[in-house]
Chain A
């Protein structure tokens, strides 16, 4: 089973401004800085808080959506972040 975590060459922080919570992610040491807002910010924060945890279930719990309804979208998003080097995939027992 595949787990994901934030690799050591990624820095990230968040702010809670007029647009709601946003997450800013930078590849070190050069950037660029990517901005995640809305559900994307929520997914990132859930994953960063509990790497290898059940991200889809946690996002479903936070948004009140059925797990089955959001699973494909959340996993596609995580896959995209991994392809961009913002997350690291590894085998999980």
Chain B
């Protein structure tokens, strides 16, 4: 199946409904290909409003996602050059550009998933079978008359032409079902990720905190109520807002003047830390027809987190009121927040909360109806006879790599993926690539052999990560291969570390080939070290729970011995969430920094501090502002031109300057 999704939001590290649903569908159906159309950038509007203007990023490959085939997801971000009143034909040109992007992504007969009403232009230009997913009632939002009229016309055309209409809230179900039948498909949460214990984020202010998690948008957030609440809390607790900031300059200034901390967008995997360490979670939303149309994702996130909640009487929370969720009128909000913040309430046990997996199943059914074929991911899912599941590609990739090693005299160990001992694999774990650790002396021979077999490089050691540890290759048949020359967090010299792991190796058979793997205790150590480089909440976190937190004392002792042998104590502590218990050191600061990917300046500072010797530091400083051309190539889907590198170079400097200034950096 093929999908073109016209989204109201860009694809970034803040996951919303669209990302959860699309990634779930991609993981279930290896044959699914998706083009995700993001809102156009508007450089002129940005310049007028004081935001740094930038052109759209065009068509590019989506991020590497666990359990998703390479090239299954493409992103397209166009550029809006002129205001609509000056250029009234731009919507038609935009629709043609989307159709071209679909062809360039090799989609021939896609379904169209319209979330932004503008998508009706694509529907009418292409005639693709379509569904309209309504997530906000923009007709009820406060917009200028021309915008309102355009939205009304677009929605009316959509309601008349799409094959299915999906809505996210009971309020939308009531209003839209007067026009035609609709399907209610509510939001949900990744319960496991929200409940997995996370360290207190370092940027949360000390003391008690009242936390709001969500996009700061003037259509929803009651700015005056936030200001009043911050004043009531003064001296007792801090009000912290976590999420992308879409407020006007004057609204933001109001929050600043009231001493309210705005942390900005946070990676979805970092969000559980803010939820879990809040003394009280807030919903200071406006109550009107627009907010009544929403089904706030935070309703599910807050309930899963188990922390006390104080909310204005908005849709969703109004119906969920209980002893943990206090729904209070505007005038009582600040005083109730002050009272609850001082209560020291314990975290409540997990409740029954709908998960995104449930919603993916529901959306798969809708797509099945739209395509008039069985849906992806359902038991009757169609799969072309020639389709090769990602899991199979990865197994055969392990076998191909081992064949190359055997025929070229290369020593390597299969780490993670299908090399894992079955007892370390938890339900739902999806290997998406092959990872190998190669004897350092054999690296050149191995990479040459890989190139000869059709693997091509997509990332070099120097640009792979803060640790410069791996090179990424890709093969048309077998997908991604990560070649490690060292493993981040292991203090032993790479040759010695490999020898230690090689000496204790075992074997496992993958697709008929006998593959060397580290001993089971070393496999656990590697999984935990890997988690130390990843923000809390994803597969790596579940690996740690399954293989370390749930392990018996004897198994843990065996792992500890391997960790000691490898001199990997600090990184291991990062993986188990015990980093703060260690004394301060450059290595500890580096590990803390790499788990906060939004702060690149801090990561670079930590990398430089941890670099061994002056020469290594000087090289790092020289590289700070260079563009990672491998990463850029992956985003663009082709090797970048000199002009594209130059644009990225400027963007990188601007981003670093913004981080320094926005964080009030005085170091």
In this assembly, does B399 line the interface, its C-beta being within 8 Å of a C-beta of chain A?
Answer: yes
Bound: A35/B387 CA distance, A: 8
Bound: A30/B392 CA distance, A: 15
Residue among A17, A28, A33 making CB contact with B383, cutoff 8 Å: A17
Chain A residues closer than 8 Å to B396, beta-carbon distance: 11, 13, 24, 26, 31, 33
* Minimal Cβ-Cβ distance residue in A for B381: A18
In this assembly, does B662 line the interface, its C-beta being within 8 Å of a C-beta of chain A?
Answer: no
In this assembly, does B664 line the interface, its C-beta being within 8 Å of a C-beta of chain A?
Answer: no
In this assembly, does B523 line the interface, its C-beta being within 8 Å of a C-beta of chain A?
Answer: no
* Minimal Cβ-Cβ distance residue in A for B477: A31
Bound: A10/B453 CA distance, A: 14
Chain A residues with CB under 8 Å of chain B are: 6, 9-13, 15, 17-19, 24, 26, 28-33, 35, 37
A-B contact pairs, 6 of them (CB 8 A): A11-B395, A12-B512, A19-B383, A24-B396, A31-B400, A35-B386
Bound: A12/B404 CA distance, A: 16
Chain B residues closer than 8 Å to A29, beta-carbon distance: 400-401, 403-404, 407, 449, 453
Bound: A32/B400 CA distance, A: 11
Bound: A24/B477 CA distance, A: 12
Bound: A30/B450 CA distance, A: 9
Check if A26 sits within 8 Å of B389, measured CB to CB.
no
The residue among B387, B389, B392 with the most chain A CB atoms within 10 A of its own CB is B392
Bound: A59/B291 CA distance, A: 64
Check if B399 sits within 8 Å of A30, measured CB to CB.
no
Chain B residues with CB under 8 Å of chain A are: 379-383, 385-389, 391-393, 395-396, 399-401, 403-404, 407, 449, 453-454, 475-478, 511-513
Check if B512 sits within 8 Å of A10, measured CB to CB.
yes
Check if B511 sits within 8 Å of A11, measured CB to CB.
yes
CB distance from B455 to the nearest CB of A (A): 9
* Minimal Cβ-Cβ distance residue in B for A6: B512
Apart from A18-B381, A28-B403, what 15 extra A-B contacts exist at CB < 8 Å? A11-B399, A11-B511, A11-B513, A12-B511, A18-B380, A18-B383, A24-B388, A26-B399, A26-B511, A29-B449, A31-B396, A31-B400, A31-B476, A33-B392, A35-B386
CB distance from B391 to the nearest CB of A (A): 7
* Minimal Cβ-Cβ distance residue in B for A24: B392
Bound: A10/B512 CA distance, A: 8
List the 10 closest A-B pairs by CB distance, nearest first. Answer: A31-B477, A11-B399, A11-B511, A28-B403, A29-B453, A29-B400, A26-B396, A13-B511, A29-B403, A24-B392
* Minimal Cβ-Cβ distance residue in A for B399: A11
Q: Say whether chain B's binding surface is mostly helix, strand, loop, or mixed.
A: loop
Number of A-B contacts (CB under 8 A): 72
Q: A17-B389, A33-B477, A35-B386 are in contact. Are A26 and B379 (CB under 8 A)?
A: no
Chain A residues closer than 8 Å to B403, beta-carbon distance: 9, 11, 28-29
Residue among B393, B401, B453 making CB contact with A33, cutoff 8 Å: B393
Q: Say whether chain A's binding surface is mostly helix, strand, loop, or mixed.
A: strand
CB distance from B199 to the nearest CB of A (A): 39
CB distance from B399 to the nearest CB of A (A): 3
* Minimal Cβ-Cβ distance residue in A for B400: A29
CB distance from A19 to the nearest CB of B (A): 6
Chain A residues closer than 8 Å to B511, beta-carbon distance: 11-13, 26
Chain A residues closer than 8 Å to B395, beta-carbon distance: 11, 13
Bound: A30/B391 CA distance, A: 18
* Minimal Cβ-Cβ distance residue in A for B407: A29
The residue among B389, B396, B407, B478 with the most chain A CB atoms within 10 A of its own CB is B396
Residue among B381, B385, B392, B401 making CB contact with A37, cutoff 8 Å: B385
Q: A29-B453, A30-B477 are in contact. Are A13 and B392 (CB under 8 A)?
A: yes
Check if A32 sits within 8 Å of B477, measured CB to CB.
yes
Residue among A15, A18, A28 making CB contact with B392, cutoff 8 Å: A15
Bound: A11/B398 CA distance, A: 10
The residue among A30, A32, A33, A37 with the most chain B CB atoms within 10 A of its own CB is A30
* Minimal Cβ-Cβ distance residue in A for B408: A29
Check if A33 sits within 8 Å of B388, measured CB to CB.
yes
Bound: A74/B387 CA distance, A: 24
Bound: A34/B385 CA distance, A: 10
Chain B residues closer than 8 Å to A26, beta-carbon distance: 396, 399-400, 477-478, 511
CB distance from B175 to the nearest CB of A (A): 38
Chain A residues closer than 8 Å to B380, beta-carbon distance: 18
* Minimal Cβ-Cβ distance residue in A for B475: A31
Chain A residues closer than 8 Å to B513, beta-carbon distance: 11, 28
Check if A15 sits within 8 Å of B391, measured CB to CB.
yes
Chain A residues closer than 8 Å to B381, beta-carbon distance: 18
Bound: A15/B392 CA distance, A: 8
Residue among B379, B401, B476 making CB contact with A18, cutoff 8 Å: B379
Bound: A35/B386 CA distance, A: 6
Chain A residues closer than 8 Å to B383, beta-carbon distance: 17-19
CB distance from A88 to the nearest CB of B (A): 13
Q: A11-B513, A17-B383, A18-B379 are in contact. Are A28 and B388 (CB under 8 A)?
A: no
